[in-house]
């Protein structure tokens, strides 16, 4: 086995969902409560369908948004086809679940009933089965019933994954790890759809083994980077519209470049670290003989948000920094970087959130990481997760030259749902 194979085999193992038993218990209890209310039976297994990434088997560790379809009795359909029926069936669904989980937050959110457990939530969608394997589901905004085709999506990805010898689902999972690492706003169905398109365009990747997964990922990122802008895509299997919430091409181009660097580090001691720059800490650290005896004169104090919270990026976040120095008007850091102007020590830096699509309430954490020889000489790596110190902002002061990175995390219901970072290159003295 090559070192690259060891890295990617371990990486995919680490991406496996590790709380499946807990998810199954919650799923079955919700189903049982709904069957009892709608049918008067005690079954926890009948009339349910897990959909979304979990149902398509493309979810990864840390998945926090689970989708459950509850198939209501056909005999009740005419009762809810009337005006106000969409809202009434969702309210009935909510009451049935709330009776089972009285201490849990259960709320109606337009199309679904959201059940918020610790570290994950269920979006429960009551629906009626149609003759063509589709389902009609309620929309309270339009007071109407719409159609979804999750079985077609599940079937298509299963069949295409078999054709791709398992590499389709593997690529979908690795792509989710990338988007969580870099805060890329891409829904699960969009990722699965684009991965499907990639294998149809370049079917030879189906024969690739773990030793070539890095090359496969680089090719996929290049495929994404070159995609023309779309408002939506036709979903795998169902053909239904999948909205593009935010352009992903720039992030994909950056990932392609990082992957190229990692490929260039093949068989080197730092190969795993280069892949971690692409995919995050799910990439395993490869220990080489004698490394355990190495000694550093500085303390590695960096903390990682993945070790504290599940990460499941679902929303957009952008941060910037206001640079203030005596005798000059404040300027945004990103403006200084675009103009290639130097940033010197002894400046006030106020890091602030300039865009956030997460619905309040939520918590904010910041990380300020110093890199380079000067940070190590001063034993000042920092990198711990800290709270804001001015409202939701984080104020810092430049002290010494080197590379510095500031990250921001938005935490909702115990899950990191958005993240953003900015590099702070301090030059001179």
Count of beta carbons in the 10 Å neighbourhood of residue 255: 27
pLDDT at position 124 is 98
How many whole angstroms separate alpha carbon 244 and alpha carbon 232? 5
Q: Which of 355, 357, 330 is CA-nearest to residue 417?
A: 357
Rounded Cα–Cα distance for residues 402 and 404 (Å)? 6
Q: Please determine, for residue 424, whether its predicted confidence score (pLDDT) is greater than 70.
A: yes
Q: Could you tell me which residues are beta bridge partners of residue 353?
A: 319
> What pLDDT score does 396 carry?
87
d(CA 316, CA 289): 42
Residue 293 predicted with pLDDT over 50: no
- Select, from the ranges 94-108, 333-347, 359-373, the one with the highest average predicted confidence (pLDDT): 94-108
Q: Which of 3-17, 46-60, 376-390 has the lowest mean pLDDT?
A: 376-390
pLDDT at 391 over 80: yes
Closest CA to 224 of 182, 195, 189, 245: 195
How far is the CA of 107 from the CAs of 65, 83, 90, 93, 111, in angstroms? 15, 21, 9, 10, 11
Residue 310 predicted with pLDDT over 90: yes
- Look at residue 348 and tell me whether its pLDDT is greater than 80: yes
Work out the pLDDT band at 373, boundaries 50, 70, 90.
Answer: confident
In tens, the pLDDT along 8-44 reads 999 999 999 999 999 999 999 999 999 999 999 999 9
- Burial (CB < 10 A; 0-12, 13-18, 19+), residue 201, is exposed
**245 vs 278: CA distance, rounded Å:** 22
With a cut of 90, say whether residue 335 has pLDDT above it.
no
Q: What is the pLDDT of residue 120?
A: 94
In the predicted structure, residue 307 carries a pLDDT above the cut 70: yes
Residue indicated by tokens 């337009």: 110
Question: DSSP assignment, residue 343?
Answer: B
Q: Are 231 and 244 in contact (CB under 8 A)?
A: yes
User: Radius of gyration over alpha carbons of the chain, in Å?
Assistant: 24
Instruction: Taking each helix axis as running N to C, give the angle between helix 167-182 and helix 188-201, from 0 to 180 degrees, rounded to the nearest 10.
Output: 130
Distances (CA, A) of 114 to 24, 104, 154, 414: 16, 10, 22, 15
Domains of the chain: 20-148 (3.30.460.90), 153-264 (no CATH), 298-426 (2.60.40)
Count the helix, strand and coil residues of the chain and give each as a percent rounded to the nearest 5.
Answer: 40, 25, 35
Question: By the 8 A CB rule, do 37 and 30 touch?
Answer: no
- Residues 39 and 37: their CA atoms lie apart, in Å, by 6
Q: How far apart are CA 72 and CA 128, in angstroms?
A: 6
* Tens-digit pLDDT profile for residues 190-236: 999 999 999 999 999 999 999 999 999 999 999 999 999 999 999 99
In this structure, are residues 31 and 44 in contact, taking their beta carbons and an 8 Å threshold? yes
pLDDT of residue 298: 76
Residue 302 has pLDDT above 70, yes or no: yes
Of the candidates 74, 85, 86, 73, the one whose C-alpha atom is nearest the C-alpha of residue 37 is: 73
Dump the DSSP string for 304-321. Answer: -GGGTS-B---S-EEEEE
The pLDDT mean for the chain works out to: 93
Using the 8-state DSSP alphabet, how is residue 209 labeled? -
pLDDT of 398 reads: 74
103: exposed, middle or buried (Cβ count in 10 Å: 0-12, 13-18, 19+): exposed
Arithmetic mean of pLDDT, 101-111: 96
Predicted pLDDT at 326: 65
- The H-assigned helical ranges of 105-248 are 150-163, 167-182, 188-201, 213-225
Residue 386 belongs to what H/E stretch? strand 382-386
- CB burial of 136-172 (b: ≥16 within 10 Å; e: otherwise) equals bbbebeeeebeebbbbbbbbbbeebbeebeebbbbbb
Percent over 70 (pLDDT), the chain: 95
| Mean pLDDT confidence for 287-298 | 61
Task: For Cα atoms 300, 268, 262, give the angle at the middle one, nearest 5 degrees.
Answer: 85
Task: Using pLDDT thresholds of 50, 70 and 90, give the confidence band for residue 290.
Answer: low
Q: List pLDDT tens digits, range 65-79.
A: 999 999 999 999 999
């Amino acid at each position: 086995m090559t070192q690259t194979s060891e890295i990617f085999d371990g990486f995919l193992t680490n991406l496996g969902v590790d709380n499946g038993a807990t998810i199954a218990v919650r799923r079955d209890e919700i189903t049982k409560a709904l069957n009892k209310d709608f049918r008067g039976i005690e079954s926890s297994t009948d009339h349910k369908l897990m959909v979304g990434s979990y149902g398509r088997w493309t979810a990864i560790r840390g998945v926090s948004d689970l989708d459950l379809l509850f198939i209501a009795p056909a005999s009740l359909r005419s009762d809810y086809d009337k005006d106000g029926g969409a809202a009434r069936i969702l309210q009935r669904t909510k009451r049935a679940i709330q009776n089972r989980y009285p201490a849990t937050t259960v709320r109606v959110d337009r199309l679904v009933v959201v059940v918020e457990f610790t570290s994950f939530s269920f979006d429960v969608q009551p629906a009626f089965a149609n003759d063509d394997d589709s389902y009609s589901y309620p929309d309270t905004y339009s007071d109407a019933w719409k159609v979804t085709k999750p079985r077609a999506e599940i079937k298509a990805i299963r069949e295409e994954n078999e054709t791709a010898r398992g590499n389709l689902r593997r690529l979908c999972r690795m792509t989710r790890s990338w988007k969580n690492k870099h805060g890329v706003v891409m829904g699960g169905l969009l990722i699965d759809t684009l991965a499907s398109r990639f294998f149809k365009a370049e079917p030879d990747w189906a024969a690739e083994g773990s030793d070539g997964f890095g090359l496969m990922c680089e090719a996929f990122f290049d495929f994404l980077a070159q995609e023309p802008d779309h408002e939506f895509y036709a979903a795998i299997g169902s053909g239904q519209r999948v909205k593009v919430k935010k352009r992903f091409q720039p992030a994909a181009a950056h990932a392609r470049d990082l992957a190229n660097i990692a490929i260039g580090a093949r068989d080197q001691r730092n190969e795993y670290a280069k892949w971690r720059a692409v995919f995050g800490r799910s990439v395993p650290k490869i220990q080489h003989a004698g490394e355990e005896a190495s000694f550093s004169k500085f303390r590695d104090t960096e903390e990682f948000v993945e070790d504290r919270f599940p990460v499941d990026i679902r929303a957009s976040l952008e941060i910037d920094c206001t640079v203030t120095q005596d005798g000059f008007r404040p300027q945004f850091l990103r403006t200084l970087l675009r103009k290639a102007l130097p940033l010197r020590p002894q400046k006030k830096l106020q890091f602030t959130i300039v865009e956030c699509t997460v619905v309040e309430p939520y918590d904010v954490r910041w990380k300020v990481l110093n890199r380079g020889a000067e940070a190590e000489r001063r034993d000042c790596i920092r990198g711990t997760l800290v709270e804001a110190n001015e409202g939701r902002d984080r104020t810092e002061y430049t002290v010494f030259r080197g590379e510095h990175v500031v990250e921001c995390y938005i935490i909702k219901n115990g899950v990191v749902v958005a993240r953003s970072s900015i590099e702070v290159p301090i030059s001179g003295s």
